[in-house]
Chains A and B, each alone.
Chain A
Amino acid sequence: MADFRTPLGRARGLGSAKHGAGHWISERLSAIALIPLVLWAVFGVIRLAGGDYDAAVAWVGQPLNAVLIVLLIAIAFWHMHSGMRVIVEDYIHKMPTKVGLLVANLFVCALVGALAIFSILKVALGGAQ
């Protein structure tokens, strides 16, 4: 049977996918989680800036420190991926450039975030020389 509906009418008839708010909510949840994590990390940086390699290894070896750093890296990289994605979507409208930047943003965040988490786990589990 022929469909005489306009494209807009068809889209309205289909309705929303019912998960449009997921991206928005994950941005806010990661923002709230980062407030205590970042404040903790600022004092971690001050502490480690005054110490040497052995002090840093010992600090990362503490279970609470190791877990908080891993959480910080995972949530921070998730959050900055979301933020940079919105910036690209807002300002870059040329097609190949836009997709290229979105893919680069995802790959950089995933690769560097995974490398950093693996490094922390290696040191925390005694893999450092």
Chain B
Amino acid sequence: MTETPRERPLSPHLVSGGPFALHWRWHITMFSSIAHRATGVALYVGALILAGWAIALAAGPEVYANYKALLGSPLGKLVFFGLTVSVFYHLASGVRHLFWDAGEGFEVKTANLNSVIVIAFAIAATLAVWVIAAMSGAI
């Protein structure tokens, strides 16, 4: 009864023996799964940046101009490009999750195919938005 619990591997058990000794063959569904979380974390930071925009707007013209200059700097544009990819990836991947919640799309072929579709959509939508932004003089 007083036996101390042993350390047991947590499931899913991906890595053992060394940093690159994977138990499983790399697969696109692994990428699309972890990318959903990674882009979610990126958007967490993005939401804080956009909240900063609202706070700067309320703080007056000088603070707003400074904040906008920071967002418009090369580093700011790089961050915004990453956020655009993250928004569209997380959105499409989220729709994929909603289909799973409805009990659809668990077949291996379907899951592989819509992984590719989600990634392709994120890239295409990001490029489209940046082309529109460039044409409208926003960048």
| Contact A50/B138 with A83-B40, A83-B44 known, Cβ cut-off 8 Å | yes
Q: Count residues of chain A with CB under 8 A from any CB of chain B.
A: 41
Given A53-B61, A84-B41, decide whether A46 and B54 contact each other with a Cβ distance below 8 A.
Answer: no
* Chain B neighbourhood of A120, CB < 8 A: 54, 57-58
User: Does B22 have its Cβ within 8 Å of any Cβ on chain A?
Assistant: no
Pick out which of these stretches binds chain A: B23-31, B91-99, B104-112: B91-99
* Minimum CB–CB distance for A72 against chain B, Å: 9
Whether A127 touches B136, Cβ cut-off 8 Å, given contacts A53-B65, A113-B51, A116-B51, is no
Q: How far, in whole Å, are A35 and B96 apart by their CA atoms in the complex?
A: 13
Q: Is the interface of B mostly helix, strand, loop or mixed?
A: helix
Q: A49-B72, A53-B65 are in contact. Are A127 and B58 (CB under 8 A)?
A: yes
B60 in contact with A129 (CB, 8 Å): yes
Identity of the chain B residue whose Cβ is nearest the Cβ of A57 in the assembled complex: B57
Of A32, A69, A87, A128, the contact of B37 (CB 8 Å cutoff): A87
Pairwise interchain contact A32-B133, C-beta atoms closer than 8 A: no
**Which among A39, A42, A45, A129 is the interface contact of B61 at CB below 8 angstroms?**
A129
Q: Is the interface of A mostly helix, strand, loop or mixed?
A: helix
Whether A49 touches B60, Cβ cut-off 8 Å, given contacts A31-B98, A35-B91, is: no
Chain B 15-49 near chain A by CB (<8 Å), digits 1 or 0 = 00000000000000000000001001101100110
B72: chain A residues at CB < 8 Å are 49
Q: How far is the CA of A32 from the CA of B99 in the complex (A)?
A: 12
- Contact B87–A115 (Cβ < 8 Å): no
Contacts of B48 in A (CB 8 A): 108, 112
A47 within 8 A of B: yes
Q: Chain A contacts of B139 at CB under 8 A?
A: 49
The smallest C-beta distance from A71 to any residue of chain B, in angstroms, reads 13
Pairwise interchain contact B58-A128, C-beta atoms closer than 8 A: yes
